[in-house]
A and B are shown apart, each in its own frame.
Chain A
Amino acid sequence: MSHATVTSVPAAAATPTNAPLRDPAWRTRLFWALAGLALLWPMGNLTEFKPWLLAEPGALAPALHFVGSFFPPRTDADFLTLLLQETWRTVAMATAGLTLALLLAIPLSLLSVRVLSLSSLAGRMAVGPGVLRQGVRWLLLVLRSVPELVWALVFVRVVGLGPTSGVLAIALTYSGMLGKVYADILESGDTHATHSLMRNGSGRLQAFFYGLLPQNAAELTSYTVYRWECAIRSSAVLGFVGAGGLGQLMDSSMKMFNGSEVASILLVFMLLVWLADRMSAALRKNLA
Protein backbone atom coordinates (compact mmCIF):
# COMPACT_ATOMS: atom_id res chain seq x y z
CA MET A 1 0.00 0.00 0.00
CA SER A 2 2.65 2.50 1.08
CA HIS A 3 4.86 1.29 -1.72
CA ALA A 4 2.19 2.15 -4.25
CA THR A 5 1.81 5.72 -2.97
CA VAL A 6 5.56 6.33 -3.11
CA THR A 7 5.85 5.20 -6.72
CA SER A 8 2.89 7.33 -7.75
CA VAL A 9 4.79 10.50 -6.72
CA PRO A 10 6.87 12.07 -9.53
CA ALA A 11 10.48 11.03 -9.41
CA ALA A 12 11.79 14.50 -8.47
CA ALA A 13 9.61 14.72 -5.39
CA ALA A 14 10.24 11.17 -4.25
CA THR A 15 13.53 11.42 -2.38
CA PRO A 16 12.97 8.85 0.35
CA THR A 17 16.44 9.38 1.85
CA ASN A 18 15.75 12.84 3.28
CA ALA A 19 11.98 12.62 3.73
CA PRO A 20 11.30 13.07 7.47
CA LEU A 21 10.07 9.80 8.93
CA ARG A 22 8.10 11.16 11.83
CA ASP A 23 6.27 14.34 12.80
CA PRO A 24 8.57 16.21 15.22
CA ALA A 25 5.56 17.61 17.09
CA TRP A 26 4.34 14.11 17.94
CA ARG A 27 6.11 13.70 21.31
CA THR A 28 4.89 17.05 22.67
CA ARG A 29 1.38 16.29 21.55
CA LEU A 30 1.42 12.86 23.21
CA PHE A 31 2.87 14.33 26.40
CA TRP A 32 0.17 16.99 26.75
CA ALA A 33 -2.62 14.55 25.95
CA LEU A 34 -1.40 12.22 28.71
CA ALA A 35 -0.82 15.13 31.10
CA GLY A 36 -4.40 16.28 30.52
CA LEU A 37 -5.76 12.83 31.35
CA ALA A 38 -3.52 12.59 34.44
CA LEU A 39 -4.92 15.92 35.67
CA LEU A 40 -8.51 14.87 35.01
CA TRP A 41 -8.26 11.74 37.16
CA PRO A 42 -7.84 13.49 40.56
CA MET A 43 -10.50 16.00 39.56
CA GLY A 44 -12.94 13.17 38.91
CA ASN A 45 -12.11 11.72 42.32
CA LEU A 46 -12.47 15.09 44.04
CA THR A 47 -15.91 15.71 42.57
CA GLU A 48 -17.00 12.11 43.37
CA PHE A 49 -17.78 11.55 39.74
CA LYS A 50 -19.34 8.08 39.84
CA PRO A 51 -21.77 7.78 36.98
CA TRP A 52 -22.34 4.08 37.67
CA LEU A 53 -24.35 5.01 40.76
CA LEU A 54 -27.11 6.03 38.36
CA ALA A 55 -27.36 2.43 37.17
CA GLU A 56 -27.98 1.01 40.63
CA PRO A 57 -31.47 -0.39 41.14
CA GLY A 58 -33.88 2.13 42.61
CA ALA A 59 -31.51 5.05 42.28
CA LEU A 60 -33.44 6.84 39.59
CA ALA A 61 -36.92 5.97 40.77
CA PRO A 62 -37.60 9.08 42.97
CA ALA A 63 -36.18 11.40 40.35
CA LEU A 64 -38.18 9.75 37.58
CA HIS A 65 -41.26 9.92 39.72
CA PHE A 66 -40.76 13.66 40.22
CA VAL A 67 -40.13 14.22 36.52
CA GLY A 68 -43.17 12.06 35.76
CA SER A 69 -45.32 14.36 37.87
CA PHE A 70 -44.36 17.20 35.46
CA PHE A 71 -47.06 15.98 33.12
CA PRO A 72 -49.50 17.53 32.61
CA PRO A 73 -48.24 21.08 33.33
CA ARG A 74 -50.60 23.12 35.46
CA THR A 75 -52.67 25.39 33.25
CA ASP A 76 -55.64 26.59 35.31
CA ALA A 77 -56.48 30.28 35.08
CA ASP A 78 -55.47 31.16 38.63
CA PHE A 79 -52.02 29.70 38.25
CA LEU A 80 -51.54 31.13 34.79
CA THR A 81 -52.35 34.62 36.06
CA LEU A 82 -49.82 34.20 38.85
CA LEU A 83 -47.32 32.80 36.36
CA LEU A 84 -47.79 35.72 34.02
CA GLN A 85 -47.34 38.18 36.84
CA GLU A 86 -44.16 36.51 38.07
CA THR A 87 -42.84 36.16 34.52
CA TRP A 88 -43.29 39.85 34.02
CA ARG A 89 -41.51 40.48 37.30
CA THR A 90 -38.61 38.24 36.27
CA VAL A 91 -38.25 39.93 32.88
CA ALA A 92 -38.39 43.31 34.60
CA MET A 93 -35.76 42.24 37.12
CA ALA A 94 -33.42 40.97 34.42
CA THR A 95 -33.95 44.04 32.23
CA ALA A 96 -33.56 46.55 35.05
CA GLY A 97 -30.49 44.73 36.34
CA LEU A 98 -28.93 44.63 32.90
CA THR A 99 -29.69 48.31 32.27
CA LEU A 100 -28.04 49.29 35.54
CA ALA A 101 -25.13 47.03 34.64
CA LEU A 102 -24.80 48.80 31.28
CA LEU A 103 -24.65 52.17 33.01
CA LEU A 104 -21.60 50.94 34.88
CA ALA A 105 -20.10 48.67 32.21
CA ILE A 106 -20.01 51.13 29.30
CA PRO A 107 -17.92 53.85 31.01
CA LEU A 108 -15.69 51.22 32.61
CA SER A 109 -15.01 49.43 29.33
CA LEU A 110 -14.33 52.76 27.61
CA LEU A 111 -11.86 53.59 30.36
CA SER A 112 -10.11 50.26 30.03
CA VAL A 113 -10.00 49.75 26.27
CA ARG A 114 -6.45 50.18 24.99
CA VAL A 115 -7.46 50.96 21.41
CA LEU A 116 -8.63 54.40 22.52
CA SER A 117 -5.24 55.34 23.94
CA LEU A 118 -3.82 58.46 22.34
CA SER A 119 -0.34 57.91 23.72
CA SER A 120 -0.07 54.47 22.14
CA LEU A 121 -0.86 55.88 18.68
CA ALA A 122 2.89 56.13 18.16
CA GLY A 123 4.90 53.86 20.40
CA ARG A 124 4.15 52.65 23.89
CA MET A 125 1.24 53.70 26.05
CA ALA A 126 2.20 56.30 28.65
CA VAL A 127 2.51 55.11 32.27
CA GLY A 128 -0.40 57.02 33.79
CA PRO A 129 -3.07 55.91 31.29
CA GLY A 130 -1.63 52.39 31.36
CA VAL A 131 -2.02 52.17 35.15
CA LEU A 132 -5.55 53.59 34.94
CA ARG A 133 -6.58 51.05 32.29
CA GLN A 134 -5.13 48.15 34.28
CA GLY A 135 -6.81 49.45 37.45
CA VAL A 136 -10.21 49.54 35.76
CA ARG A 137 -9.63 45.99 34.48
CA TRP A 138 -8.99 44.84 38.04
CA LEU A 139 -12.14 46.59 39.23
CA LEU A 140 -14.11 44.71 36.56
CA LEU A 141 -12.49 41.49 37.72
CA VAL A 142 -13.59 42.12 41.33
CA LEU A 143 -17.13 42.96 40.23
CA ARG A 144 -17.58 39.80 38.20
CA SER A 145 -15.75 37.35 40.45
CA VAL A 146 -18.31 37.78 43.24
CA PRO A 147 -21.28 35.56 42.26
CA GLU A 148 -24.62 37.36 41.95
CA LEU A 149 -25.99 35.04 44.63
CA VAL A 150 -23.56 36.53 47.14
CA TRP A 151 -24.40 40.08 46.11
CA ALA A 152 -28.11 39.19 46.44
CA LEU A 153 -27.61 37.81 49.97
CA VAL A 154 -25.78 41.04 50.85
CA PHE A 155 -28.52 43.25 49.41
CA VAL A 156 -31.36 41.21 50.93
CA ARG A 157 -29.94 42.33 54.27
CA VAL A 158 -29.85 45.96 53.11
CA VAL A 159 -33.09 46.43 51.16
CA GLY A 160 -35.04 43.44 52.45
CA LEU A 161 -36.65 40.57 50.52
CA GLY A 162 -37.92 41.38 47.04
CA PRO A 163 -36.81 42.05 43.48
CA THR A 164 -34.71 45.11 44.38
CA SER A 165 -31.92 43.01 45.83
CA GLY A 166 -32.03 40.83 42.72
CA VAL A 167 -31.77 43.85 40.44
CA LEU A 168 -28.78 45.22 42.34
CA ALA A 169 -27.06 41.85 42.43
CA ILE A 170 -27.46 41.36 38.67
CA ALA A 171 -26.31 44.94 38.07
CA LEU A 172 -23.02 44.50 39.92
CA THR A 173 -21.98 41.07 38.64
CA TYR A 174 -23.11 41.75 35.11
CA SER A 175 -21.37 45.11 34.93
CA GLY A 176 -18.13 43.24 35.59
CA MET A 177 -18.82 40.66 32.88
CA LEU A 178 -20.15 43.12 30.31
CA GLY A 179 -17.35 45.61 30.91
CA LYS A 180 -14.67 42.98 30.45
CA VAL A 181 -16.19 41.39 27.37
CA TYR A 182 -17.05 44.76 25.77
CA ALA A 183 -13.44 45.81 26.19
CA ASP A 184 -12.25 42.51 24.71
CA ILE A 185 -14.60 42.80 21.73
CA LEU A 186 -13.54 46.39 21.08
CA GLU A 187 -9.88 45.44 21.24
CA SER A 188 -10.14 42.35 19.05
CA GLY A 189 -11.80 44.04 16.08
CA ASP A 190 -10.19 46.00 13.28
CA THR A 191 -8.80 49.22 14.75
CA HIS A 192 -7.81 50.84 11.47
CA ALA A 193 -10.79 53.22 11.28
CA THR A 194 -10.50 54.25 14.94
CA HIS A 195 -6.79 54.88 14.83
CA SER A 196 -7.06 56.84 11.60
CA LEU A 197 -9.58 59.18 13.20
CA MET A 198 -7.43 59.69 16.28
CA ARG A 199 -4.33 60.24 14.14
CA ASN A 200 -6.16 63.02 12.37
CA GLY A 201 -6.88 64.73 15.67
CA SER A 202 -10.31 63.42 16.68
CA GLY A 203 -11.06 62.91 20.34
CA ARG A 204 -11.28 59.47 21.91
CA LEU A 205 -15.06 59.52 22.26
CA GLN A 206 -15.50 60.81 18.71
CA ALA A 207 -13.26 58.01 17.48
CA PHE A 208 -15.34 55.58 19.51
CA PHE A 209 -18.65 56.72 18.05
CA TYR A 210 -17.41 57.07 14.46
CA GLY A 211 -14.94 54.20 14.29
CA LEU A 212 -14.92 51.64 17.03
CA LEU A 213 -18.66 51.39 17.70
CA PRO A 214 -19.88 50.92 14.10
CA GLN A 215 -17.05 48.44 13.60
CA ASN A 216 -18.19 46.24 16.49
CA ALA A 217 -21.88 47.09 16.92
CA ALA A 218 -23.28 43.73 15.85
CA GLU A 219 -21.07 41.73 18.14
CA LEU A 220 -21.71 44.02 21.10
CA THR A 221 -25.46 43.82 20.57
CA SER A 222 -25.57 40.09 20.21
CA TYR A 223 -23.47 39.64 23.33
CA THR A 224 -25.71 42.02 25.28
CA VAL A 225 -28.84 40.14 24.28
CA TYR A 226 -27.18 36.87 25.26
CA ARG A 227 -26.38 38.38 28.64
CA TRP A 228 -30.01 39.45 28.99
CA GLU A 229 -30.94 35.82 28.49
CA CYS A 230 -28.43 34.85 31.20
CA ALA A 231 -29.86 37.53 33.48
CA ILE A 232 -33.29 35.93 33.18
CA ARG A 233 -31.82 32.60 34.29
CA SER A 234 -29.88 34.36 37.02
CA SER A 235 -33.00 36.01 38.35
CA ALA A 236 -34.53 32.54 38.66
CA VAL A 237 -31.67 31.45 40.91
CA LEU A 238 -31.94 34.69 42.85
CA GLY A 239 -35.63 33.96 43.43
CA PHE A 240 -34.57 31.02 45.58
CA VAL A 241 -32.98 33.44 48.05
CA GLY A 242 -36.07 35.60 48.17
CA ALA A 243 -35.60 38.02 45.30
CA GLY A 244 -39.08 37.30 43.91
CA GLY A 245 -40.13 36.43 40.38
CA LEU A 246 -40.33 33.03 38.70
CA GLY A 247 -37.50 31.72 40.86
CA GLN A 248 -39.40 32.23 44.07
CA LEU A 249 -42.47 30.60 42.54
CA MET A 250 -40.35 27.65 41.44
CA ASP A 251 -38.82 27.42 44.91
CA SER A 252 -42.20 27.04 46.57
CA SER A 253 -43.44 24.58 43.93
CA MET A 254 -40.30 22.50 44.36
CA LYS A 255 -40.67 22.45 48.10
CA MET A 256 -44.21 21.09 47.71
CA PHE A 257 -43.05 18.59 45.06
CA ASN A 258 -45.61 20.05 42.70
CA GLY A 259 -44.19 18.77 39.42
CA SER A 260 -46.92 20.17 37.19
CA GLU A 261 -46.24 23.70 38.43
CA VAL A 262 -42.49 23.26 37.96
CA ALA A 263 -43.16 22.08 34.43
CA SER A 264 -45.22 25.17 33.60
CA ILE A 265 -42.49 27.44 34.98
CA LEU A 266 -39.80 25.63 33.02
CA LEU A 267 -41.86 25.99 29.85
CA VAL A 268 -42.03 29.72 30.46
CA PHE A 269 -38.24 29.77 30.85
CA MET A 270 -37.80 27.99 27.55
CA LEU A 271 -40.12 30.46 25.93
CA LEU A 272 -38.14 33.39 27.30
CA VAL A 273 -34.82 31.94 26.17
CA TRP A 274 -36.27 31.25 22.73
CA LEU A 275 -37.50 34.85 22.60
CA ALA A 276 -34.08 36.18 23.52
CA ASP A 277 -32.55 33.98 20.86
CA ARG A 278 -34.95 35.26 18.19
CA MET A 279 -34.35 38.84 19.28
CA SER A 280 -30.60 38.43 19.05
CA ALA A 281 -30.88 36.87 15.61
CA ALA A 282 -33.14 39.67 14.38
CA LEU A 283 -30.86 42.36 15.78
CA ARG A 284 -27.78 40.77 14.29
CA LYS A 285 -29.50 40.52 10.95
CA ASN A 286 -30.41 44.19 11.11
CA LEU A 287 -26.91 45.25 12.06
CA ALA A 288 -25.05 42.88 9.75
Chain B
Amino acid sequence: MKIALQAATGHHPSAKQGSAAAVRAVSLEVRAGEQLAIIGPSGAGKTTLLHLMACALQPTAGTVLLDGQDPWRLSRSTLQGLRKALFLAPQVPPLPPRQRVVTAVLAGRLPHESLWASLRSLFYPQDIALAHQVLAAFDLSDKLFERVDRISGGERQRVGLARALVSQASLWLVDEPLSALDPTRARHALDALTGAARERGATLVATLHHVEMALAHFPRVVGLRDGAVVFDLPAAQVSPTHLQALYAQQLHELTGPAADLAFEDFPGGPAPVVMHCR
Protein backbone atom coordinates (compact mmCIF):
# COMPACT_ATOMS: atom_id res chain seq x y z
CA MET B 1 0.00 0.00 0.00
CA LYS B 2 1.28 3.47 -0.76
CA ILE B 3 0.81 6.46 1.48
CA ALA B 4 0.66 10.13 0.58
CA LEU B 5 0.44 12.84 3.23
CA GLN B 6 -0.37 16.28 1.86
CA ALA B 7 0.26 19.05 4.36
CA ALA B 8 -1.34 16.81 6.98
CA THR B 9 -1.78 18.30 10.43
CA GLY B 10 -2.71 16.18 13.40
CA HIS B 11 -3.50 16.87 17.04
CA HIS B 12 -2.93 14.39 19.78
CA PRO B 13 -6.37 12.91 20.58
CA SER B 14 -6.21 13.94 24.22
CA ALA B 15 -4.82 17.42 23.47
CA LYS B 16 -6.82 20.43 24.60
CA GLN B 17 -8.61 22.59 22.08
CA GLY B 18 -6.37 25.23 20.61
CA SER B 19 -3.16 23.54 21.68
CA ALA B 20 -0.30 23.18 19.24
CA ALA B 21 -0.56 20.39 16.67
CA ALA B 22 1.66 17.37 17.22
CA VAL B 23 2.19 17.01 13.47
CA ARG B 24 2.24 20.21 11.42
CA ALA B 25 1.58 20.25 7.69
CA VAL B 26 3.70 17.22 6.94
CA SER B 27 3.94 16.15 3.30
CA LEU B 28 5.38 12.71 2.77
CA GLU B 29 5.06 9.97 0.21
CA VAL B 30 5.77 6.31 0.82
CA ARG B 31 5.75 3.93 -2.13
CA ALA B 32 4.19 0.49 -1.94
CA GLY B 33 6.64 -1.98 -0.45
CA GLU B 34 8.99 0.72 0.79
CA GLN B 35 10.58 0.54 4.22
CA LEU B 36 10.85 3.75 6.16
CA ALA B 37 12.06 4.68 9.62
CA ILE B 38 10.91 7.80 11.42
CA ILE B 39 13.35 9.11 14.00
CA GLY B 40 13.33 12.17 16.19
CA PRO B 41 13.43 13.29 19.81
CA SER B 42 10.63 12.56 22.27
CA GLY B 43 7.56 14.61 21.58
CA ALA B 44 8.48 15.13 17.93
CA GLY B 45 5.11 13.75 16.83
CA LYS B 46 6.28 10.34 15.63
CA THR B 47 3.37 8.44 17.12
CA THR B 48 0.83 10.99 15.94
CA LEU B 49 2.27 10.76 12.43
CA LEU B 50 1.93 6.99 12.57
CA HIS B 51 -1.64 7.30 13.80
CA LEU B 52 -2.45 9.63 10.91
CA MET B 53 -1.20 6.98 8.49
CA ALA B 54 -3.15 4.27 10.32
CA CYS B 55 -6.53 6.03 10.08
CA ALA B 56 -6.46 6.04 13.87
CA LEU B 57 -6.50 9.82 13.84
CA GLN B 58 -8.27 12.17 11.49
CA PRO B 59 -6.06 15.01 10.22
CA THR B 60 -7.27 18.42 11.39
CA ALA B 61 -5.93 19.91 8.15
CA GLY B 62 -4.48 18.53 4.93
CA THR B 63 -5.10 15.05 3.64
CA VAL B 64 -3.85 11.52 4.11
CA LEU B 65 -4.22 9.30 1.06
CA LEU B 66 -3.90 5.53 1.27
CA ASP B 67 -3.53 4.01 -2.18
CA GLY B 68 -4.79 7.26 -3.58
CA GLN B 69 -8.03 7.44 -1.63
CA ASP B 70 -8.91 9.60 1.33
CA PRO B 71 -10.06 7.22 4.09
CA TRP B 72 -12.05 9.94 5.82
CA ARG B 73 -14.28 10.40 2.79
CA LEU B 74 -15.25 6.73 2.83
CA SER B 75 -18.33 5.39 4.57
CA ARG B 76 -17.69 3.94 8.00
CA SER B 77 -18.01 0.35 6.82
CA THR B 78 -15.66 0.94 3.86
CA LEU B 79 -13.19 2.60 6.21
CA GLN B 80 -13.32 -0.40 8.51
CA GLY B 81 -12.73 -2.56 5.43
CA LEU B 82 -9.70 -0.47 4.54
CA ARG B 83 -8.37 -0.89 8.08
CA LYS B 84 -8.06 -4.61 7.42
CA ALA B 85 -5.24 -3.78 5.03
CA LEU B 86 -3.20 -1.98 7.66
CA PHE B 87 -1.56 -3.17 10.80
CA LEU B 88 -0.72 -0.70 13.54
CA ALA B 89 1.48 -2.07 16.30
CA PRO B 90 1.37 0.34 19.25
CA GLN B 91 4.43 0.85 21.40
CA VAL B 92 2.83 -0.81 24.42
CA PRO B 93 1.87 -4.25 23.12
CA PRO B 94 -1.95 -4.45 23.16
CA LEU B 95 -2.25 -7.83 24.81
CA PRO B 96 -4.82 -8.73 27.46
CA PRO B 97 -2.87 -10.07 30.46
CA ARG B 98 -4.83 -13.29 30.83
CA GLN B 99 -4.57 -14.27 27.18
CA ARG B 100 -2.21 -16.98 26.01
CA VAL B 101 0.56 -16.11 23.60
CA VAL B 102 -0.84 -18.37 20.88
CA THR B 103 -4.21 -16.58 21.01
CA ALA B 104 -2.59 -13.16 21.14
CA VAL B 105 -0.54 -13.91 18.05
CA LEU B 106 -3.37 -15.45 16.07
CA ALA B 107 -5.48 -12.37 16.86
CA GLY B 108 -3.48 -10.75 14.05
CA ARG B 109 -5.55 -12.77 11.61
CA LEU B 110 -8.94 -11.67 12.96
CA PRO B 111 -9.59 -9.03 10.27
CA HIS B 112 -9.42 -11.71 7.60
CA GLU B 113 -11.33 -14.34 9.50
CA SER B 114 -15.04 -14.91 9.94
CA LEU B 115 -16.48 -14.47 13.42
CA TRP B 116 -17.23 -18.18 13.52
CA ALA B 117 -13.65 -19.12 12.65
CA SER B 118 -12.28 -16.76 15.28
CA LEU B 119 -14.59 -18.19 17.95
CA ARG B 120 -13.54 -21.69 17.03
CA SER B 121 -9.93 -20.61 17.28
CA LEU B 122 -10.62 -19.36 20.79
CA PHE B 123 -11.86 -22.81 21.71
CA TYR B 124 -9.00 -24.61 19.98
CA PRO B 125 -6.30 -22.59 18.18
CA GLN B 126 -6.80 -23.30 14.50
CA ASP B 127 -3.31 -22.63 13.25
CA ILE B 128 -0.84 -23.54 15.96
CA ALA B 129 1.83 -24.21 13.33
CA LEU B 130 1.60 -20.65 11.98
CA ALA B 131 1.78 -19.14 15.45
CA HIS B 132 4.77 -21.31 16.24
CA GLN B 133 6.49 -20.32 13.02
CA VAL B 134 6.14 -16.55 13.52
CA LEU B 135 7.12 -16.82 17.18
CA ALA B 136 10.23 -18.71 16.11
CA ALA B 137 11.18 -15.73 13.96
CA PHE B 138 11.35 -13.74 17.19
CA ASP B 139 13.01 -16.53 19.15
CA LEU B 140 9.89 -17.10 21.24
CA SER B 141 8.63 -20.48 20.06
CA ASP B 142 8.93 -21.93 23.57
CA LYS B 143 6.43 -19.37 24.88
CA LEU B 144 3.61 -20.54 22.60
CA PHE B 145 1.23 -21.65 25.35
CA GLU B 146 2.49 -19.28 28.02
CA ARG B 147 0.17 -16.61 29.39
CA VAL B 148 0.90 -13.04 28.33
CA ASP B 149 1.23 -11.76 31.90
CA ARG B 150 3.77 -14.44 32.73
CA ILE B 151 6.33 -13.41 30.13
CA SER B 152 8.71 -10.48 30.35
CA GLY B 153 8.13 -7.02 28.92
CA GLY B 154 10.56 -7.62 26.09
CA GLU B 155 8.92 -10.92 25.21
CA ARG B 156 5.54 -9.23 25.24
CA GLN B 157 6.79 -6.62 22.82
CA ARG B 158 8.04 -9.31 20.47
CA VAL B 159 4.70 -11.14 20.71
CA GLY B 160 3.09 -7.88 19.58
CA LEU B 161 5.45 -7.80 16.59
CA ALA B 162 4.85 -11.47 15.80
CA ARG B 163 1.22 -10.56 15.38
CA ALA B 164 2.18 -8.44 12.38
CA LEU B 165 3.62 -11.52 10.70
CA VAL B 166 0.33 -13.42 10.82
CA SER B 167 -1.72 -10.44 9.66
CA GLN B 168 -2.40 -10.14 5.96
CA ALA B 169 -2.03 -6.37 5.98
CA SER B 170 -0.17 -4.59 3.21
CA LEU B 171 0.86 -1.66 5.37
CA TRP B 172 2.67 -2.20 8.66
CA LEU B 173 2.95 0.74 11.01
CA VAL B 174 5.13 -0.10 13.97
CA ASP B 175 5.57 2.27 16.89
CA GLU B 176 8.86 1.97 18.81
CA PRO B 177 9.21 -1.78 18.32
CA LEU B 178 12.48 -1.97 20.25
CA SER B 179 11.79 0.04 23.39
CA ALA B 180 11.91 -2.97 25.72
CA LEU B 181 14.51 -5.04 23.90
CA ASP B 182 18.20 -5.50 24.50
CA PRO B 183 20.47 -4.68 21.53
CA THR B 184 20.87 -8.23 20.24
CA ARG B 185 17.18 -8.96 20.46
CA ALA B 186 16.42 -5.59 18.92
CA ARG B 187 18.59 -6.27 15.90
CA HIS B 188 17.14 -9.73 15.56
CA ALA B 189 13.57 -8.44 15.82
CA LEU B 190 14.15 -5.73 13.23
CA ASP B 191 15.69 -8.27 10.85
CA ALA B 192 12.62 -10.50 11.23
CA LEU B 193 10.27 -7.58 10.71
CA THR B 194 11.95 -6.03 7.69
CA GLY B 195 12.59 -9.44 6.14
CA ALA B 196 8.96 -10.51 6.47
CA ALA B 197 7.71 -7.19 5.11
CA ARG B 198 10.02 -7.48 2.11
CA GLU B 199 8.91 -11.06 1.49
CA ARG B 200 5.26 -10.04 1.41
CA GLY B 201 5.76 -6.74 -0.36
CA ALA B 202 4.20 -4.94 2.57
CA THR B 203 5.00 -1.30 3.19
CA LEU B 204 6.74 -0.87 6.53
CA VAL B 205 6.87 2.37 8.49
CA ALA B 206 8.48 2.26 11.93
CA THR B 207 9.25 4.94 14.47
CA LEU B 208 12.51 4.30 16.23
CA HIS B 209 14.47 5.71 19.10
CA HIS B 210 17.60 3.80 18.23
CA VAL B 211 19.15 5.95 15.53
CA GLU B 212 21.75 3.53 14.27
CA MET B 213 19.21 0.72 14.19
CA ALA B 214 17.15 2.92 11.89
CA LEU B 215 20.16 3.74 9.73
CA ALA B 216 21.32 0.13 9.55
CA HIS B 217 17.99 -1.54 8.79
CA PHE B 218 15.98 0.97 6.79
CA PRO B 219 16.85 2.28 3.34
CA ARG B 220 15.03 5.56 3.97
CA VAL B 221 15.03 7.62 7.15
CA VAL B 222 12.81 10.58 7.99
CA GLY B 223 13.85 12.94 10.77
CA LEU B 224 10.92 14.50 12.59
CA ARG B 225 11.19 17.39 15.01
CA ASP B 226 8.45 19.52 16.54
CA GLY B 227 5.92 17.95 14.21
CA ALA B 228 7.78 18.82 11.01
CA VAL B 229 10.05 16.86 8.71
CA VAL B 230 13.67 17.96 9.18
CA PHE B 231 15.18 15.60 6.63
CA ASP B 232 13.97 12.77 4.44
CA LEU B 233 16.99 10.96 3.05
CA PRO B 234 18.31 7.57 2.06
CA ALA B 235 19.99 6.12 5.13
CA ALA B 236 23.43 6.34 3.54
CA GLN B 237 23.15 10.10 3.20
CA VAL B 238 22.18 10.81 6.80
CA SER B 239 25.24 12.45 8.32
CA PRO B 240 26.09 13.12 11.96
CA THR B 241 25.40 16.79 11.20
CA HIS B 242 21.81 15.95 10.29
CA LEU B 243 21.41 14.01 13.50
CA GLN B 244 22.98 16.76 15.60
CA ALA B 245 20.49 19.21 14.13
CA LEU B 246 17.60 16.80 14.70
CA TYR B 247 18.45 16.15 18.31
CA ALA B 248 19.78 19.61 19.21
CA GLN B 249 18.75 20.30 22.81
CA GLN B 250 17.96 16.60 23.24
CA LEU B 251 21.41 15.29 22.50
CA HIS B 252 21.19 12.88 25.42
CA GLU B 253 18.50 11.00 23.50
CA LEU B 254 20.86 10.60 20.62
CA THR B 255 23.63 9.36 22.84
CA GLY B 256 21.36 7.63 25.34
CA PRO B 257 19.63 4.52 24.06
CA ALA B 258 21.41 4.80 20.74
CA ALA B 259 24.83 4.46 22.39
CA ASP B 260 27.04 5.93 19.70
CA LEU B 261 26.85 7.39 16.23
CA ALA B 262 29.37 4.90 14.90
CA PHE B 263 27.71 1.82 13.46
CA GLU B 264 29.24 -0.56 15.87
CA ASP B 265 27.80 -3.45 17.70
CA PHE B 266 26.19 -2.58 20.96
CA PRO B 267 28.19 -3.27 24.07
CA GLY B 268 26.93 -6.26 26.01
CA GLY B 269 24.03 -5.97 28.41
CA PRO B 270 20.56 -4.64 27.87
CA ALA B 271 19.99 -1.03 26.88
CA PRO B 272 17.95 1.03 29.30
CA VAL B 273 14.23 0.74 28.65
CA VAL B 274 12.99 3.83 26.89
CA MET B 275 10.31 5.72 28.74
CA HIS B 276 6.90 5.11 27.26
CA CYS B 277 5.90 8.49 25.98
CA ARG B 278 3.13 9.31 23.60
Contacts and interface: CB of A to CB of B under 8 A. Distances in A.
Interface in B76-92: 76, 80-88, 90, 92
A206 B56 contact: no
Given A123-B58, A201-B110, A206-B110, 15 more contacts: A119-B76, A122-B13, A122-B57, A192-B94, A193-B94, A193-B95, A198-B83, A199-B55, A199-B83, A200-B111, A201-B81, A202-B110, A211-B96, A214-B99, A217-B98
B119 interface: yes
Most buried by B among A119, A195, A198, A201: A201
19 contacts: A126-B76, A193-B95, A195-B94, A200-B84, A200-B111, A200-B167, A201-B81, A201-B110, A202-B107, A202-B110, A206-B113, A207-B110, A209-B122, A210-B99, A211-B94, A211-B96, A214-B96, A214-B97, A214-B98
A213 B109 CA distance: 18
A128 to B, nearest CB: 10
Contacts, number: 85
Interface in B30-63: 54-58
Interface in A77-108: none
Interface in A122-170: 122-123, 126
Nearest to A210: B107
A109 B189 CA distance: 40
Contact of A200 (B58, B88, B95, B115): B88
Most buried by B among A119, A205, A209: A209
Contact of B85 (A195, A201, A203, A209): A201
Contacts of A287: 98
A196 interface: yes
Interface residues of B, number: 36
A122 B14 CA distance: 11
A118 B75 CA distance: 12
A197 B107 CA distance: 8
Contact of B115 (A196, A206, A211): A206
Contacts of A214: 96-99, 103
A72 to B, nearest CB: 48
A207 B57 CA distance: 19
A218 interface: yes
A118 B80 contact: yes
Contact of B111 (A118, A202, A217): A202
Contacts of B98: 214-215, 217-218, 287
Interface string A168-193: 00000000000000000000000011
Interface in A204-253: 205-207, 209-211, 214-215, 217-218
